[in-house]
Structures are given as C-alpha cells and as structure tokens.
Amino acid sequence: MGRFRFLFRGLIAFALLVPVSMIVTAPVSAGTAAATTTCSNGVANTGGLGLICQITVVNTITASGGSATVTIHECHGAAGAPTAACSTKTTSLSKPVTAVTQCNASINGGGGTLRCSVVVTNNFYGAGASSSLTVPAATTAVTVNQCVGSGAGGVIGQNINCDPYPASTTGAAITQCNGSGNGLTLVHLNCTATGTMDSALVVTINQCNQSANGGGALVECSASLVNKAVTSTPPPTGTVSQSSPSNNSTPLLPLLVLLASCGFGLAVVAARRRSIFS
C-alpha cells in the first residue's frame, strides 16, 4: 500500500514538472519582425553548430503610406541541416520594412554551417502625387558589397562562388558574406545577390558578415530585392502576429492525459486493495 501511494505521488509530481521542463527546452525564435527586421545575430559561436534563417518580406506601398508582411523561418541545432529547434513566424506590420539584418557575427566555431536568405518584394500600388512614394520609375540593378575579405585559403570558382564578384560598392543595398569563412579547410562559401532598387523606398540587407570563421565552415547566403508597380487593389493592413510551433515540441495535453490515466488507474488499484484487506 505504501508503495502505491509513493508511486502515485511521484506521478503527480512528474506531471507538474513536465510542462516546466518543456517550456525551458522549447526553442524561442530570436527573429524580430519590425521596420528593421533581424534574425540570429551574434549567436552559436561554439563548434559544431548550424543556423538557418530565412526571411521573406512583402512591402505594400500606397499613396497614404504602407505596410508589410514578414515571415521568419529560423532553425538552430547541430551543423549540417539543423532542425533541433525550428520556428516559423508571420507578422503583419503597419509600415514597410526598410532594413533586414541577420546571421552576422554568428557560427564562428569549428565545423559550423550557415544558411541564410532574404527575399524582399516592394509592391507599389499607384502612389499619387501627394505621396512622397511614387511608382518606381527609376528602378536600377541592386548594388552589392559581398565576399570581401572572405574565404581564406579557398579558390574562386571552386569552393568560393560569389555572384556578383568582385563586388565592393560602398553603401550598397545588399551587404553580405564579408569577413566570413576564414577558418581554412573551407567547405564552401556560396553567396548570391540579385534584384532591383528604387529611391522611392530604400531597403538594405545586411547578412552573413563576420560569420562562420571556424575551420571546415560552410556558408550559403542569398539576398533578393525587387521593386515593382502593381495595378490591383492593395491588401488590407493589420498588426496580427502568428507563430507556428517548433517542429520538435512535444504535445503536452496527450502526455498529461496519459499521466493522469496512469495515476487514476493506480488509485483504483490502491482503493480495491484497501477494500479487500479492510
């Protein structure tokens, strides 16, 4: 009888502790959706770690202002394709995103893997003469500053592939992969920058700089910035944020139901034993 009481109490204590441990170990996204959106800067600088940050921004620009929808997919874990702690967050903002900064000064331990991307689309919806924003008429190729002082010991065209290269424009719209991948025994450094820009809405992307400088590093970073005129009706604006659960989370309700069932069963057995011997 004493043993059953002890086990039953132990199960109750475990049920109370499980949610706390789950909350502590569940990954929390470091990404922040805002006019200056960020994801995982200055993180995971010990050996053997991997990082994935994928940011997608859709800016809506109208005669009366603008808004944005931002999706951040972020993963942390072991080097390779980390999936131990992933989250995806979509946020609606009441103003456009003008800067994205991510994956800088990160993954500087040996054998680190860095995979980061940014896609920004600026949709201009027939801005009128009263607005400081105009339908992009002077769209030009995006300016780039990338792969400067990077890939020590690597070979361009083999384990270093940067497009465009060389690219060292001061104050560029896209600045990435500078001072990175310098730990020798580089696996590869692949960085691409594409798109257009317009003075009507200046957006900058800064990522993968001063990162992955441990030996045996892998770097894959891409950035795309596109401006275009749209003739359809702009989407409604809002400020609602939604986050998906991480892919390694354990549903608490089924676990608690199981624990409660076990405890109830043990209580019934204990009651029956008590009635038999009373």
Looking at the fold, whether 111 and 165 belong to one and the same domain comes out as: yes
Looking at the fold, whether 37 and 175 belong to one and the same domain comes out as: yes
Q: How confident is the model at residue 253 (pLDDT cuts 50, 70, 90)?
A: very low
Looking at the fold, whether 74 and 92 belong to one and the same domain comes out as: yes
Looking at the fold, whether 214 and 89 belong to one and the same domain comes out as: yes
Helix (H) or strand (E) holding 196, with range, is: strand 188-197
Looking at the fold, whether 205 and 127 belong to one and the same domain comes out as: yes
Looking at the fold, whether 224 and 185 belong to one and the same domain comes out as: yes
Alpha-carbon gap, residue 69 to 227, rounded angstroms: 15
Instruction: Return the ∠ at Cα 30 (arms to 181 and 66), rounded to 5°.
Output: 105
Looking at the fold, whether 84 and 97 belong to one and the same domain comes out as: yes
Task: Quote the domain boundaries for residue 47.
Answer: 29-248
Looking at the fold, whether 143 and 5 belong to one and the same domain comes out as: no
Looking at the fold, whether 156 and 183 belong to one and the same domain comes out as: yes
pLDDT per position as a tens digit, 114-166: 999 999 999 998 754 334 444 555 689 999 999 999 999 999 999 999 999 99
Looking at the fold, whether 238 and 130 belong to one and the same domain comes out as: yes
Tokens standing for residue 105: 């000064």
**pLDDT at 13 (0 to 100):** 39
Looking at the fold, whether 78 and 198 belong to one and the same domain comes out as: yes
Looking at the fold, whether 141 and 193 belong to one and the same domain comes out as: yes
Q: How confident is the model at residue 6 (pLDDT cuts 50, 70, 90)?
A: very low
pLDDT per position as a tens digit, 166-225: 999 999 999 999 999 999 899 999 999 999 998 889 999 999 999 999 999 999 999 999
Alpha-carbon gap, residue 260 to 262, rounded angstroms: 5
Backbone Cα Rg of the chain = 26
**pLDDT at 85 (0 to 100):** 94
* Domain total in the chain: 2
